[in-house]
């Protein structure tokens, strides 16, 4: 794993949370992006080498909607940057971790992503991200 690429935080409303995090972090949100396949709208803030990703559900089928319903607002996942996501997925599968996708999928912020089941990672939802070469 190269670094913590972002920390995902589930929020009820980006309209409320973006200004709050702009005040908290003393920096502006640099990107807002909807990921339709995940039924989420995201907002990103840079913090040194890593980022904060705020996530608002755009539909009831969203993992974020279910999380908010069950646990309320809060830290949702930790994303690690990797060089080669498919290689890392194969390595982690061999190590006995449960991947939630057989193939990486298009995520936000120009990344290929996949997730590991939190049951196998001490209750922490882990995301892997690989930058898509421009
Ligand atoms: C990709 C766009 C963007 C990006 O960075 O590019 C994103 O990050 S999108 C983020 C939203 N998408 C996802 O989270 C996709 C992966 N997540 C899932 O597939 C599900 O949420 C899953 C499998 C983690 C949980 O399943 P479900 O949503 O159906 O909820 P359950 O209540 O059935 O959960 C089962 C079990 O897992 C625990 N759980 C759920 N979410 C989390 C979490 N974020 N962190 C830790 N644990 C979590 C939940 O409490 C249940 O445990 P139990 O002991 O049975 O209560
Ligand atoms: Co994420």
**Which domains are seen in the chain, by residue range?**
3-131 (3.10.180.10)
| pTM of the entire predicted model | 0.97
Which residue owns the Cα nearest ligand 1 atom 16?
115
Both tokens assigned to 29 = 């949100």
pLDDT at 134: 79
* CB of 117 closer than 8 Å to CB of 100: yes
CA of 80 to the centre of ligand 2 (A): 9
SS3 of the chain: helix, strand, coil, percent, to 5: 30, 40, 35
Cβ 100 under 6 angstroms from ligand 1: yes
* Residue 88 CB less than 6 A away from ligand 1: no
How many whole angstroms from 63 Cα to the centroid of ligand 1? 6
Mean pLDDT per block of 10 residues along the chain (134 residues) reads 94 98 97 96 97 94 94 98 97 98 96 98 98 88
pLDDT of 58: 95
pLDDT value of residue 60: 74
Ligand closest to the CA atom of residue 105: 1
């Amino acid at each position: 794993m190269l670094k913590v690429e972002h920390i995902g935080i589930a929020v009820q409303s980006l309209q409320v949370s973006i200004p709050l995090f702009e005040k908290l972090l003393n920096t502006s949100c640099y990107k807002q992006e909807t990921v339709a396949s995940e039924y989420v709208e995201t907002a990103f803030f840079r913090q040194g080498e890593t980022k904060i990703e705020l996530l608002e559900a755009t539909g009831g089928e969203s993992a974020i909607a279910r999380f908010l319903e069950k646990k309320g607002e809060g830290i949702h996942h930790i994303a690690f940057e990797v060089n080669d996501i498919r290689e890392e997925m194969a390595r982690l599968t061999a190590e006995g971790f449960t991947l939630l996708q057989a193939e990486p999928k298009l995520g936000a912020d120009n990344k290929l992503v996949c997730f590991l089941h939190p049951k196998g990672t001490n209750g922490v939802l882990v995301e892997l991200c690989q930058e898509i070469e421009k």
